[in-house]
Amino acid sequence: MEKLLEIKNLHAQIDGKEILKGIDLTVNYGEIHAIMGPNGSGKSTLSNVLAGREGYEVTEGEVIYKGRNLLELEPEERAREGIFMAFQYPVEIPGVNNSYFLKAALNAKLKHEGKPEIDAMDFLTLVRDRMKIVEMDDKFMNRGVNEGFSGGEKKRNEILQMAVLEPTLAILDETDSGLDIDALRIVAEGVNKLRSPERSVIMVTHYQRLLDYIVPDFVHVLSAGQIIKSGDKSLALELEEKGYGWLLGEDEAA
Amino acid sequence: MSTVEHYRRVFSDAEMVGKDIDWLKAEREQALADFEEKGFPTARNEDWKYTRVNPIEKKAWGWSGKTCVGLDPEDLNDYVFERKNSHVLVFVNGWFQPQLSTRHTLPEGVKLVSLAAQIADSADELRPHLGKVAENRNGFMALNTAFSSDGAYLHVAQDVALDKPVQLVFIATHQSDPVFTNTRNLVVLERGAQAQVVETYGYIGGEPENFTNAITEAVVAGGARLYHNIAQRESEKAYHVSTVAATVAKDGHFEQSAIAMGGRLMRTDINVALNEPGAHATLNGLYLPHKRQHMDYHTFIDHAAPHCTSEEVYRGVLDGAGRGVFNGKVLVREGAVQTNADQSNKNLLLSKQAEIDTKPQLEIFNDDVKCSHGATIGQLDPLHVFYLRSRGLDEAQARSMLTYAFANEVVNRIKLEPLRDRMSMAILDRMPGGEELKKLV
């Protein structure tokens, strides 16, 4: 299988504090990887480093994406190359219209791919179609980005953006946190609809329940900035049953 | 030659309108004497602490005569919207230009003429109001009163609503010698009358180093509603000093949106007196200095009667080495119980060199009032910028989109839709990547 993403010995820090302490992970095209771990294990740091957020300093190691050094790319270049991170806490941006923001994002990607910009009618048709996937109402499009959205609406808006931008690598950063069971189902269905041999997903989550809806090919357990165990979906079930303490030292288990 | 000698000579040579009208002549001479006494404001004056006017003072501004202007109405398209659906009065270098203007049939009871025409026709009609709303508080105002000869005069009779908006367009063109224009506008709404007025200041050809010294006086009688707008889009080499003074009577409503984009140095004072119970003022403002522009808004809302309300929303977007000043004074006089006054001033600094001095100033002289004010100074939220970039927008585009959103909070408060659209587009024109954004919004 062809490699989409290869993370080698990745070390990263925030404010001088080392969070990632040597991550190795390979994601092939079409695969879904779940990254699980207790709070503070570095899950969100990994997501943010991949998306290119400022303030996360990579001190060692490399990340190869589509055969290129990912870490050299600006966040927008990563996005145009097909990386999409669904935020754990999607920000509210009052006054920036949801619809024109999304259109700008799509056009940036199309332009990067050497394709013509989408016209207003086609865009509307596309967005309406994708909104059905996440069961979002039209009225959300003319509001500010996430402005006044409930927690579940924000997450659905992330998945809508993903469905419109059709990324090659989707990173879901604790997308299940704060979701009730209905919203979780909608979000998961949105992700499942996007499953394809050309697309890979990294799901970062604390809980197993998301994996009931989006079944991963691989499960990795992250602890103290390192992947301490990898396996298939049964690993997640085992974790659910035994808790993280099962894999961690006694102190942490307590 | 001293400043005083210079302006006295300009005064005696100037071809002012209405030189033979005794009361007008006396007022002008008094104003010139006031100017000689006050001079141009200095930094010692608290109200002018952050705005140095030396560049204006240093130049020997001369009288702007009536010159022939080779312009067509289409040349003004940047500044005029919907000519078919509004009354447009165009002034070039201070003088009314009927050939560039459009006046549709006016409803009965509405008079819309140039000030010069009104002075020639019947100056006495102006006398009860001219110079009564705006006193000569400083040297600039005194100069205006001494020299003003043209501008717009709008009078709306009792209970008449002027349905089409009035656009007053003041254009500067390049002139070989430095000239100043002392535009004077007077708007009188009788009881229950309504009107919408837009003052646009702009330029055509080159970047004139003109000096606009303008005053607008507005009388809003009982139950009348005036929607007043200012689009200050002068050349970035121009000097613009102006005052809008309004009095609002019982249950009257004065609502204004002021947007400043142009000028090398701008100072605008907005003084609204809520003189009788139930009067209301809304003041919206947006200043966008960039490069080396300096923009100063001083607003003053005088709650002189009980049960009056005011709402003020001013925002600044400061880029380059741009500098902004906001001073928002709200005075609640003794006896003005049940006053409700809100003021907010938010500023966005886009560069390290940009600077803002903001001063909310509440002076309250009795109990039983509800007053609030708040001033903030901030930068774009890095997380917002990252969010947009993480979706593929480049940094400049992301910043422009966020800046535009910030500015639009004020633009969206403009009641007049075509003006609102114009202002949005004009703001985008000044932003990096604005062309791209224009296609989206």
pLDDT tens for each residue of B246-277: 999 999 999 999 999 999 999 999 999 999 99
Beta bridge partners of B189: B156, B220
Q: Are A96 and B405 within 8 A, CB to CB?
A: yes
Q: What is the pLDDT of residues B198-246, one digit of tens each?
A: 999 999 988 999 999 999 999 999 999 999 999 999 999 999 999 999 9
Tell me if B400 sits within 8 A of B431, measured CB to CB. Answer: yes
- Whether B271 and B405 map to the same domain: the answer is no
Q: pLDDT class for A244, splitting at 50, 70, 90? A: confident
Q: Which residues, at least 6 apart from B398, have a Cβ–Cβ distance to it below 8 Å?
A: A76, B384, B385, B388, B389
The helix-helix angle for A98-112 and A151-165 (nearest 10°) equals: 30
- Whether B39 and B184 map to the same domain: the answer is yes
B413 lies in some domain:
yes
Nearest to B244 by CA among B256, B236, B234: B256
Q: What is the pLDDT of residues B99-151, one digit of tens each?
A: 999 999 999 999 999 999 999 999 999 999 999 999 989 999 999 999 999 99
Nearest to A215 by CA among A229, A235, A198: A235
Q: Are A51 and B440 within 8 A, CB to CB?
A: no
Q: What is the pLDDT of residue B176?
A: 87
B284 lies in some domain:
no
Torsion of CA B22, B27, B33, B38, to 10 degrees: -170
B376 lies in some domain:
no
B305 lies in some domain:
no
What is the rounded distance in angstroms from the CA atom of residue B306 to the CA atom of residue B335?
6
Asked if this assembly's ipTM is beyond 0.90, the reply is yes
Q: Where does a domain end: B232, B253, B276?
A: B276
A chain contacts of residue B393, beta-carbon cutoff 8 Å: 76, 101, 104-105, 108
B70 lies in some domain:
yes
Q: Where does a domain end: B256, B276, B296?
A: B276
B215 lies in some domain:
yes
Q: Are B382 and A54 within 8 A, CB to CB?
A: yes
Q: Are A74 and B389 within 8 A, CB to CB?
A: yes
B chain contacts of residue A142, beta-carbon cutoff 8 Å: none
Residue B440 has pLDDT above 90, yes or no: no
Nearest to A108 by CA among A78, A87, A86: A78
Strand order across the beta sheet in which A56-65 lies: A17-28, A3-14, A56-65, A68-69
Host domain of residue B411: 381-441
Strand-strand pairing, A226-231 and A218-223: antiparallel
Nearest to B244 by CA among B267, B262, B223: B267
Q: Return the residue of A nearest to B412 by Cα.
A: A95
Tell me if B400 sits within 8 A of B438, measured CB to CB. Answer: no
What is the rounded distance in angstroms from the CA atom of residue A90 to the CA atom of residue A83?
16
Beta bridge partners of A202: A33, A171
Nearest to B238 by CA among B146, B151, B170, B328: B170
What is the token pair recorded at B246? 């309004």
Question: Which of B286, B346, B348, B389 should we substitute to test contact with A (largest number of A Cβ atoms within 10 Å)?
Answer: B389
Residues 133-172 of A with CB under 8 A from B: 144-145, 161, 165
HSE of B15 in the Cβ direction (CA atoms, 13 Å)?
6
Split into its structural domains, chain B has a count of: 2
Q: Which residues, at least 6 apart from B343, have a Cβ–Cβ distance to it below 8 Å?
A: B310, B311, B312, B314, B328, B330, B360, B362, B372, B373, B374
Residues present in chain A in total: 254
Beta bridge partners of A96: none
Q: Return the residue of A nearest to B437 by Cα.
A: A104
A chain contacts of residue B441, beta-carbon cutoff 8 Å: 97, 100
What is the rounded distance in angstroms from the CA atom of residue B242 to the CA atom of residue B95?
17
Q: What is the pLDDT of residues A178-214, one digit of tens each?
A: 888 888 999 999 999 999 999 999 999 988 889 999 9
8-state DSSP, B93: T
- Whether B14 and B129 map to the same domain: the answer is yes
B129 lies in some domain:
yes
Residues 175-214 of A with CB under 8 A from B: none
Of A186-195, B33-42, B47-56, minimum mean pLDDT range:
A186-195
Tell me if B234 sits within 8 A of B212, measured CB to CB. Answer: yes
- Whether B86 and B214 map to the same domain: the answer is yes
Q: pLDDT class for A249, splitting at 50, 70, 90? A: low
Of A48-57, A129-138, B162-171, B332-341, minimum mean pLDDT range:
A129-138
Q: Are B384 and A85 within 8 A, CB to CB?
A: no
What is the rounded distance in angstroms from the CA atom of residue B61 to the CA atom of residue A185?
73
A chain contacts of residue B431, beta-carbon cutoff 8 Å: none
What is the rounded distance in angstroms from the CA atom of residue B229 to the CA atom of residue B220?
15
- Whether B270 and B402 map to the same domain: the answer is no
Q: Compute the mean pLDDT over every residue in chain A, rounded to the nearest whole number.
A: 92
A44-65: average pLDDT:
96
CA distance A153 to chain B (A): 17
Residue A250 has pLDDT above 70, yes or no: no
- Whether B271 and B386 map to the same domain: the answer is no
Q: Return the residue of A nearest to B400 by Cα.
A: A96
Domain positions in chain A are: 3-253
Place of tokens 């839709």: B417
What is the rounded distance in angstroms from the CA atom of residue B56 to the CA atom of residue B180?
10
Percentage of residues of chain B with pLDDT beyond 90: 93
Q: What is the pLDDT of residue A252?
A: 46
Q: Are B405 and A53 within 8 A, CB to CB?
A: no
* B302 against A39, higher pLDDT: B302
CA distance B62 to chain A (A): 46
CA distances, B412 to each of B229, B313, B424, B439 (Å): 13, 11, 9, 18
* Amino acid at the residue B296: D
Q: What is the pLDDT of residue B201?
A: 98
Q: What is the pLDDT of residue A84?
A: 98
Residue A253 has pLDDT above 50, yes or no: no
Q: What is the pLDDT of residue A254?
A: 37
Beta bridge partners of A219: A34, A231
Residue A251 has pLDDT above 50, yes or no: no
Q: Where does a domain end: B276, B305, B324?
A: B276
> Is the Cβ of A114 closer than 8 Å to some Cβ of chain B?
no
Place of tokens 């709650």: B303
Q: Are B392 and A108 within 8 A, CB to CB?
A: yes
* Amino acid at the residue B429: D
Residue B169 has pLDDT above 80, yes or no: yes
A chain contacts of residue B379, beta-carbon cutoff 8 Å: none
A chain contacts of residue B395, beta-carbon cutoff 8 Å: 74, 76
Q: Which of B382, B394, B401 sits opposite A101 (nearest CB)?
A: B401
Q: A3-253 sits in which CATH class?
A: alpha beta
Residue A88 has pLDDT above 60, yes or no: yes
What is the rounded distance in angstroms from the CA atom of residue A221 to the CA atom of residue A140?
36
Count other Cβ atoms within 10 Å, centred on residue A137: 8
Q: Which of B392, B404, B406 sits opposite A80 (nearest CB)?
A: B392
> Is the Cβ of A246 closer than 8 Å to some Cβ of chain B?
no
> Is the Cβ of A80 closer than 8 Å to some Cβ of chain B?
yes
B319 lies in some domain:
no
Q: Which of B388, B390, B395 sits opposite A51 (nearest CB)?
A: B390
